[in-house]
Amino acid sequence: MHDLDATLQRIAAAPDPAALDAERVAALGKSGWVTALLKTLGQMSPDERQVKGPEIQGQRARIADAIEQRKAELDAAELERKLATERLDLTLPAADTPMGSVHPVSQVMDELAEIFADLGFAVAEGPEIESDWYNFTALNMPETHPARAMHDTFYVAPRDGVEGTFVLRTHTSPVQIRAMQQLGAPLRVIAPGRVYRSDSDATHTPMFHQVEGLVVDKGITMAHLKWTLETFLKAFFERDDIAIRLRPSYFPFTEPSAEVDVGWSMENGRRVVGGSEGWMEVLGSGMVQPRVLAAAGLDPDEWQGFAFGTGIDRLAMLKYGMNDLRQFFDGDLRWLKHYGFSALAVPTLSAGVGA
């Protein structure tokens, strides 16, 4: 004779999932005793069935509930056991050379952050989908400004419930506005990040990287700009013979504006940065246009600033000698192995930012 209480006790005491399943089979399986009882219902008279039916069904339900409860207990205990035993010691040194490598763009971004941190600059960020106001208007490029046409802008399709025009930011300059709004003045930031323009050939890709620099303070002059850029380029290219030349230029967000050339020379048949056999353009820069300060909520009579911007991919190519920008974004493992950097070699000023 099978006894419900004994079955329930054995279920509650089942030491492991296999023992629990054996109890389930013995009671509720095809030849289980509850199943056998259920089969007897067919031969009963209706009156008898009315009494016995709910009784047997009730037993079945209590057993099923008990099995479920014990299963949950066993599962929880198993999880506890795993958590307690399957530990990974993350403080252990990496035994083998780590797989993968740091992309030159990430490497250069780290180098920039390191160099400018030493000069008191923080790193600022902004969204890649940017409003037309931040990307253009606040930077002294109103809707009718001809410079807007120079940017080959990707416009974002309007979305229901979202007011205004949005673009994929065409430069990192809008982060200037965001940084001034968020942090106020005085201010020293760089803003590295992705930018987008509808342009594609060996030296242009639709997505590329820029870094923006912005200093706002009292009594800031073009001399501060020149010293900062010279100091940066010397640290970045790790050479003291860096010569720079500022050429008058035009950007809507700076006045006056200057394009910055760096001197190059031939070494082993290769053109390298340093010396002054020739000049190549590396940066755009200038004194922040008073209207830009005002758009960001600062009083231009009180504050002055300088700003600069340049392409990170281009800096990487100049420093590390790649010549086709498109390969940066091909994801070719052979290229990444060749030009990538060790994840363990963090750029520092003392050990050299050149990795």
Return residues touching ligand DAH (CB under 6 A).
171, 173, 212, 251, 254, 284-286, 307-309
**Phi and psi angles of residue 308, each rounded to the nearest 5 degrees, phi first:** -150, 160
Q: Which residue has the tokens 């970045």?
A: 236
Closer Cβ to ligand DAH, 116 or 308, answer by number: 308
CA neighbor of 298 nearest in space, from 155, 138, 141: 138
The Cα 215–Cα 177 span in angstroms is 12
341 has which bridge partners?
Answer: 102
**CB environment 4-42: b (16+ within 10 A), e (fewer):** beebbebbeebeeeeebeebbebbbeeebbbeebbeeee
In sign, the C-alpha dihedral spanning 329, 334, 340, 342 is: positive
Write down the least CB distance from residue 225 to ligand DAH, Å. 9
In sign, the C-alpha dihedral spanning 238, 260, 231, 109 is: negative
Write down the least CB distance from residue 221 to ligand DAH, Å. 15
Closer Cβ to ligand DAH, 153 or 254, answer by number: 254
Write down the least CB distance from residue 286 to ligand DAH, Å. 5
Write down the least CB distance from residue 162 to ligand DAH, Å. 25
Closer Cβ to ligand DAH, 107 or 254, answer by number: 254
Closer Cβ to ligand DAH, 309 or 347, answer by number: 309
Write down the least CB distance from residue 182 to ligand DAH, Å. 17
Closer Cβ to ligand DAH, 273 or 282, answer by number: 282
Closer Cβ to ligand DAH, 203 or 265, answer by number: 203
Q: What is the DSSP letter of 98?
A: P
Write down the least CB distance from residue 116 to ligand DAH, Å. 14
Amino acid symbol at 133: W
264 has which bridge partners?
Answer: 273, 278
Closer Cβ to ligand DAH, 7 or 254, answer by number: 254
Write down the least CB distance from residue 274 to ligand DAH, Å. 23
End-to-end CA distance of the chain: 80
Other Cβ atoms within 10 Å of 298 Cβ, number: 21
Closer Cβ to ligand DAH, 148 or 171, answer by number: 171
CA angle centred on 240, ends 238 and 244, rounded to 5°: 100
Write down the least CB distance from residue 148 to ligand DAH, Å. 12
